[in-house]
Structure 1
């Protein structure tokens, strides 16, 4: 009996250990947080109705163009195995991502130009880097988009217009990115490679993912809005992330202390802006050992942030923050961590980061964009950040009309069709 008890306790402790060191995988979908409809909180279908109603009544303000130019993350490397096909939602469109037999990645528009079948549903990777339509078997190159074979046709002549638009993609830092430019300009800058990931010095430590209902510019603008750190993000994560239930104006016993700055870089790196941040935690005014962190957050284009951390004796690492516009005011935000820290410390850090970020989601989900805000002396370089971010728009960048339509449909570089 005693031995059985010892084994039981051991198994329980081992299970707890495995849970604590398992990489964080926190996913919050639209509706899970960020909405407030009073008390008691509506549930189920009634909550879904309230969210749809809010979408119609919400005041967006005089927002900038909804789709900036740049690289955007669409998947992690481990999401896509050789010959695998994945559906992608990007800028209000269905796209198809697939990996060739030799490992290269390709993105094409999802609909076959023959009779409109969806490559993402039943399409097959063939001939190394081509995709085959599930309806009639037409085969298209992932590199050029041109039809290479029509299996049932006895004619060697393939229709000249038998092509499907392809999108520029790159695979770096164990992520897959897609390029968009409203003027059809090919990539003008590269995503910096992190050698510690390629060498395995920094290992995968977890991820979080959130659906956010806001304009894309609102999210990176937080990096220059230093004043909100000293109000919304002072209170410890012990009080959660729901700002409708938090006493934000009180003096907390557990307190985050922030000191930061933001500056844009110059040519040839004008597409990069950098936030420098120091942070530590206090309990009743006493600094907690092991909580001091130095951060350099590089905003690379409109949708990528490399957060490079120095945790002191606990090691170093990076968190990739990516913002991908799935629709005009619907963003998918992901945080993925690679570090040399212990698994438990990384999990606590990622969870703390998620709670702080989720407080912002409550604000972004319900706010309107103010084109000409009122500033006070200590607001931080918000205006400078807006001028910097403006470089990712041109006169042809799609805007949102009052009826919810777009002034123009985002296209790949070789898409000349009016779909």
Structure 2
């Protein structure tokens, strides 16, 4: 009888744990919650906020590249803006409003009404399919063209300058993207569609999101910095993400990751794409642990999108969409979203492990200085090749960060040229 009771209790606990850990992960880290090191007395409240501001003010960032590259950038996941909804979006230092019309299409517009400056994402309403009505005086603007189509209390001619900026957007793979080019050029490449995601064969497995204080180029540059993989990421994720706690002085831990791979840029019509191939396995001493090997083909598409194609062998295949969005010159929003034909518990374990490894880099990015001419040795990896490839997304007019904190060129939509 006792054995039956114990078996029943154990079964209930197992089912509960399985149901809990099979739920898609939603893990969000805000700026200042990770990546900075303060004394224990500085960890909470207003004093911590002042310390964070002090770090930002005193940090040497180096001779930075332009802060807003040309390309497609993720501004939201599709489920973040419902039908007839308006979502406030910050990108390129601009406050914009993402609108989903009654017909389901998305539009991106400037947030400020040209009448008296009200913010359309605060109380504005979607009307007449794809128009936005200002909450202040009721002026109605087309989210497709930006033009004012109605002033409810005035029957006269609508002034020609009564319009707001619109931005080119694209919805693909359950994400929404905006196109930016400092020279006013139309989109130069397409964002590939992943069939298994769009037809539902690969299920949503979870997401992570981090707010970072660094230059947007620093993050994808990791793909070419192969040497850091077997150092910063040598220990298994369960060793934690805090670099102060990692035993980096131990070059041969008993249980560790082994990484091997390479990076290369494509040419011709695919010159905006680079590929990192990476093999990973967990080791105990010199013995490979079974069922831990994985293959990664990471396709970077322009400056802000990475498609991480994973083959986990026994555990199945998946894709992780990795997006870096420059909201301000040195403020990035990094998202990882996973879809796959993988066991949900394994998927949650993988996403959590990926987040812990990523957060080790967050400590580095949040405090490092950009070196225009780094001191590299033979086995560092093709860092300079990556920088030359990435430089194609800058032109002479690309906005740069000035000493006073402003940018050199005003960001505007290509539709305003």
Larger displacement relative to structure 2 (10-19 or 368-377): 10-19
Residue equivalent to 1:151 = 152
CA contact (8 A) 2:141 2:147 kept: yes
Q: In 2, Cα distance between the equivalents of 1:282 and 1:171?
A: 41
Residue by residue over 1:164-223, the C-alpha shift from the partner in whole angstroms, topping out at 9 and shown as x without a partner, is 000000000010001111111111101011000111111100100001100000000000
Residue equivalent to 2:102 = 101
Structure 1 pair 5–379 and aligned structure 2 pair: CA distance change class (3 A): closer
Residue equivalent to 1:302 = 303
- 1:340-379 correspondence to structure 2 within 5 Å: 340-379=341-380
- 1:119-198 correspondence to structure 2 within 5 Å: 119-155=120-156, 157-198=157-198
Q: In 2, Cα distance between the equivalents of 1:214 and 1:102?
A: 38
What secondary structure does 1:125 align onto?
A: strand
Q: In 2, Cα distance between the equivalents of 1:53 and 1:8?
A: 53
How does the TM-score come out when normalised to structure 1? 0.96
Residue equivalent to 1:261 = 262
Residue by residue over 1:113-140, the C-alpha shift from the partner in whole angstroms, topping out at 9 and shown as x without a partner, is 0110000000000110111111111111
Number of residue equivalences: 415
Give 1:89 shift: 0.9
CA contact (8 A) 1:265 1:273 kept: yes
Give 1:396 shift: 0.5
- 1:272-291 correspondence to structure 2 within 5 Å: 272-291=273-292
Q: Does 1:118 align with 2:119?
A: yes
Give 1:11 shift: 4.8
Residue equivalent to 1:228 = 228
CA contact (8 A) 1:95 1:110 kept: yes
CA contact (8 A) 2:168 2:415 kept: no
Residue equivalent to 1:393 = 394
Q: In 1, Cα distance between the equivalents of 2:12 and 2:235?
A: 37
Structure 1 pair 40–255 and aligned structure 2 pair: CA distance change class (3 A): farther
Give 1:6 shift: 8.0
CA contact (8 A) 1:236 1:252 kept: no
Give 1:247 shift: 1.1
Q: In 2, Cα distance between the equivalents of 1:23 and 1:41?
A: 34
Residue equivalent to 1:82 = 83
**Where in structure 1 are there 5+ consecutive unaligned residues?**
none
Larger displacement relative to structure 2 (15-24 or 133-142): 15-24
Structure 1 pair 113–4 and aligned structure 2 pair: CA distance change class (3 A): farther
Q: In 2, Cα distance between the equivalents of 1:221 and 1:317?
A: 23
Give 1:39 shift: 4.8
Q: In 2, Cα distance between the equivalents of 1:375 and 1:9?
A: 55
Q: In 2, Cα distance between the equivalents of 1:55 and 1:351?
A: 28
What secondary structure does 2:295 align onto?
A: strand
Residue by residue over 1:372-415, the C-alpha shift from the partner in whole angstroms, topping out at 9 and shown as x without a partner, is 01110101100000000000001000000111111112111233
How does the TM-score come out when normalised to structure 2? 0.96
CA contact (8 A) 1:23 1:347 kept: yes
Residue equivalent to 2:25 = 24
Larger displacement relative to structure 2 (244-253 or 178-187): 244-253
What secondary structure does 1:217 align onto?
A: helix
Give 1:24 shift: 1.1
